Amino acid sequence: MGNNTAGLSFQAQIKGNHCFGCGGENPHGLHIQSFWAEDDMAVCHFSPQAHHCAAPTHFLNGGIIATVIDCHCICTAMADAYRRAGREIAEGEAIWYATARFSLEYLRPVSMNAEIVLKARVVDVDERNTVLECVVIANNKTAVKAKLTAVRVPEQWMADGG
């Protein structure tokens, strides 16, 4: 594996990603950035914009929270799969995952001006699925806990939904 991608987020290395949450190729998206912090844990820092608010404008919208968690976990599953294959992200045949199961537990509201950190950990892997657990930390307190199962999809899935 080369070092030419050192320091780049998972998302910056994925080609052809138009996802609202994590796609660098979507000009209207959230453009989250995820990085390995430990062997099995990735971190993402998120700074909401004013239009990401809930009805009370001082709290972050729950759907935006779910989107950021979903995308951070899926990109972590993809990065993990490339790493297990001994390749840099986007090197060789593309590896894509989609969300199969996703559960959230909102523990407290997330302030719009909070420092928001997501920590996703790979907890189980088989040939087709990667299970991740994620926490959202806002102002040094756990605000959301999530569990996501990412399922590997064929490259053709990107072309025709197959």
Q: Residues 59-83: pLDDT tens digits?
A: 999 999 999 999 999 999 999 999 9
Dihedral, 29, 25, 33, 68 alpha carbons, nearest 10: 40
Reported pTM: 0.93
Average pLDDT over the chain reads 93
Q: Per residue in 26-55, pLDDT tens? A: 999 999 999 999 888 999 999 999 999 999
**Which phi and psi angles does 125 have, rounded to 5°?**
-140, 135
Residue 43: per-residue pLDDT: 98
pLDDT tens digit string along 55-64?
Answer: 999 999 999 9
* 152/4: higher pLDDT: 152
Go through the domains of the chain in sequence order and give each one's CATH number: 21-160 (3.10.129.10)
pLDDT digits (tens, 9 = 90+) for 119-132: 999 999 999 999 99
Look at residue 6 and tell me whether its pLDDT is greater than 80.
Answer: no
Percent over 90 (pLDDT), the chain: 84
3-state DSSP call for residue 87? coil
Calpha distance 118→159 (Å, rounded): 30
Cα–Cα distance, 96 to 158 (Å, whole number): 8
Average pLDDT value for residue range 109-138: 96
